[in-house]
Every structure is written in C-alpha cells, then in structure tokens.
C-alpha cells in the first residue's frame, strides 16, 4: 500500500495524498477527510525510506555510550529517550566501549544512518582514556551534524557540551572533609577522562587552599569494580588515611567493604564519599554519602539545546554547566 494506491482509490493525485499526510493547509476539508478515511481503512503508512530519500532525514538521534550497563549512563539515556521520543525522534543506540577505534567505528556507522544529531554520553568521549588522546573524529562528525556531549568538554564548531560542575563539587567535598578534621584523604579514580581530571583537580586545589599537604600516593588509580577495589585495598593500609573520596560509587563501596572487614568504623575512623549518587548508595550500611551530579538535569538541558539547534531558533551556549550537590548520608 503506497501513495499511488491511496491516490487511485481516493480519486485524487498523489500530491494531494502527500499533502494530507503532511497536514498541508492547502487541502479542502472535504478532500482531506475523504483521503484520511481511505488511509485509515487501508492502513497506509508512508515509507520512511522514500521520505528520507527526499528529505535526507529520518528524524533519528544517535546516542553513543561506552556501555549501557552503567547506572549513571542508563539513567541519562532513559531521560534522553523520554524527551526525544516526545519530540517524535527515534533513538539509535550504540555502545562503543572505551577504545578509540570502536568509538570511531560506531560514530561512522551512525553517521551513515543519517542521524539528525549525535549525543555522546560520558566523559570518556572527551578525555584521554587511550594513548591517542584524539577527539578529531568527533569534530569531524560535527561537520555533518550537531554533536552534544554529556559530561564532556570539547571545543569546536557545532559541538555543544552539557556537564556537571565536577571540579567545584570535588573541591567542595574535599573542603568539607577537611573541615571535619580529615587530613589524609584518599582519592580513587578509574580513568583519565575529562570529568575524572576535573574531579582530581578539584580535590588537589582544595587541599592546597586549605594548606593540607598534597600526597601523590593518596591518589590511587584503580578499576571501578566493588570486588576489585575491596580486594586490593589491603595494599594501601600503610597510607594511614582518614577519608576516601571516589569518583564513582562502586569504588567507594569497595573501599568501605574492606574497611568494615578490618574492623574500622565508618565514618568515625574513616569518612567515605562516592560519586553519582546511584542506587548503590541506598544499599550499603551505613548508607553512602555521594555527590549527586544531576544526570536528569544535564540530560534535559542537553535535549533543550538540541531542540533549539535543530530548530535553528536562536543561539545555544557551547558550554552548559549544572551544579552538583553532596548528598549527606551516613558515611561522612
């Protein structure tokens, strides 16, 4: 069933049918109704490929994530999908992992699908997880369609960034720990991504400003996995720390489990703060204090930017930051 069939049955031209389908105002009510009825009874749906061929768009947004099996990312995608769906867009989802090569391949695949815009979720797309440290493939994509980063920052035309103020949040958390008398704060991180660097920097500056000695050994790079962290944490007893601040909740929980296992009291002996304010925080006892980096807010701001960019209505800030908030539970 195509537009010709409908036209023939309705005794009109395909142009008229097309107008009816596309809600063109220049169709008489009578004709419109007649055509609409026939479309209804015969169950006609326009062929998106043919539409796409002419319009060069299929009303589709690409969302690329390192992995969807991550609480922070999946929340972001959930939020994005909801708004975009309401706007009539479909989502093409890609999970690229963290390797540059696969990121490029995925973006290329999406571009070839003629998406209307690309959303990159996670700071891995703005950072230096791999040796190349190269984000030129993103700039290249931005030559064809607008690119939106969530929690990443890349300069460039047609690239729009929405991110949490991780530097500030990290600075404030560290400052609060210091105010509470903590002097040897372990900083756990699992990547060299843009946001990880921001967090690290905030941590370091807070120490500096408070006149606390910065001990490089206290910054520990490790895998973001509860069991891994827990099992290797015994290697760091010698550090004699009184607080742990992690760039992700899972690492904080791994540390907490180790500390509890060796009989430490949380937070009396060691304060612990995680990041992302994920559901995990509610599972532990004591419940984990964590930085809420406002995924939903960042996501909805991203959609807002996207809307105005695609609608060509007015200007859009290249960079859009949202404030985080430390959620104090029982580990601080």
Partner DNA sequence: TTGTATGCGTTATCAG
Partner DNA sequence: CTGATAACGCATACAA
In this structure, the dihedral spanned by the alpha carbons of residues 216, 217, 223 and 229, taken in order and rounded to 10 degrees, is: -140
The secondary structure of 260-288 as a DSSP string is HHTT--TTTT-EEEEES--THHHHSSSPP
The token duo for 95 is: 């999970």
Q: How far apart are alpha carbons 15 and 244 in whole angstroms?
A: 68
Q: Which single residue is written with the structure tokens 């807002």?
A: 304
Interaction between residue 145 and DNA (CB under 7 A): no
Binding range to DNA, per CB under 7 A, among 21-29, 155-163, 269-277, 324-332: 21-29
Interaction between residue 57 and DNA (CB under 7 A): no
Interaction between residue 50 and DNA (CB under 7 A): yes
Q: How far apart are alpha carbons 183 and 87 in whole angstroms?
A: 50
**Pattern 179-208, binding to DNA, x per CB under 7 A?**
------------------------------
Q: Which does 25 bind (CB under 5 to 8 A by kind): DNA, a copy of itself, none?
A: DNA
Minimum distance from residue 100 beta carbon to a copy of itself (Å)? 16
Minimum distance from residue 115 beta carbon to DNA (Å)? 16
Q: How far apart are alpha carbons 5 and 41 in whole angstroms?
A: 13
Residue 210 CA from chain centroid, whole number: 32
4 or 221: CB nearest DNA: 4
Binding range to DNA, per CB under 7 A, among 15-23, 251-259, 289-297, 305-313: 15-23
The token duo for 53 is: 């061929």
Interaction between residue 22 and DNA (CB under 7 A): yes
Interaction between residue 234 and DNA (CB under 7 A): no
Minimum distance from residue 221 beta carbon to a copy of itself (Å)? 21
Binding range to DNA, per CB under 7 A, among 18-26, 105-113, 182-190, 314-322: 18-26
Instruction: Tell whether the torsion through CA atoms of 189, 192, 198 and 201 is positive or negative.
Output: positive
Minimum distance from residue 140 beta carbon to a copy of itself (Å)? 10
Minimum distance from residue 203 beta carbon to DNA (Å)? 51
Residues 111-138 as b/e (b if ≥16 CB within 10 A, e otherwise) read beeebbbbbbbbbbbbbbbeeeeebebb
Contact at 8 Å (CB) between 160 and 320?
yes
Q: Which does 4 bind (CB under 5 to 8 A by kind): DNA, a copy of itself, none?
A: DNA
Minimum distance from residue 124 beta carbon to a copy of itself (Å)? 15
Contact at 8 Å (CB) between 7 and 16?
yes
46 or 320: CB nearest a copy of itself: 46
Interaction between residue 310 and DNA (CB under 7 A): no
Interaction between residue 109 and DNA (CB under 7 A): no
């Amino acid at each position: 069933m195509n537009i010709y069939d409908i036209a023939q049955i309705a005794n009109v031209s395909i142009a008229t049918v097309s107008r009816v389908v596309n809600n063109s105002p220049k169709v008489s009510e009578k004709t419109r109704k007649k055509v609409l009825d026939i479309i209804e009874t015969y169950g006609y749906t326009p062929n998106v490929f043919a539409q796409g061929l002419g319009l060069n768009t299929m009303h589709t947004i690409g969302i690329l994530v390192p992995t969807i099996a991550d609480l922070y990312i999946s929340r972001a995608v959930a939020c994005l999908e909801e708004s975009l769906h309401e706007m009539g867009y479909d989502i093409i989802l890609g999970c690229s992992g963290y390797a540059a090569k696969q990121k490029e391949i995925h973006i290329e695949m999406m571009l070839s699908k003629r998406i209307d815009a690309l959303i990159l979720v996670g700071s891995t797309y703005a950072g230096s997880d791999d040796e190349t440290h190269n984000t030129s493939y993103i700039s290249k994509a931005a030559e064809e369609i607008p690119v939106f980063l969530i929690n990443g920052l890349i300069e460039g035309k047609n690239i729009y960034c929405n991110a949490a103020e991780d530097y500030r949040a990290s600075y404030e958390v560290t400052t609060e720990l210091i105010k509470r008398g903590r002097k040897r704060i372990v900083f756990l991180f699992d990547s060299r991504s843009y946001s990880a660097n921001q967090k690290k920097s905030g941590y370091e500056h807070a120490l500096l400003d408070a006149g606390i000695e910065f001990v490089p050994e206290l910054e520990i790079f490790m895998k973001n996995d509860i069991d891994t962290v827990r099992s290797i944490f015994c290697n760091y007893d010698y550090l004699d720390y009184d607080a742990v601040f992690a760039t992700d909740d899972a690492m904080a929980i791994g540390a907490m489990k180790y500390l509890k296992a060796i009989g430490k009291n949380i937070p009396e002996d060691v304060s612990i703060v995680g990041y992302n304010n994920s559901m995990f925080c509610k599972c532990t006892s004591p419940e984990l204090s964590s930085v809420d980096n406002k995924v939903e807010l960042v996501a909805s701001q991203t959609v807002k930017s996207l809307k105005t960019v695609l609608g060509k209505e007015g200007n859009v800030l290249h960079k859009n930051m949202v404030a985080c908030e430390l959620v104090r539970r029982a580990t601080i």
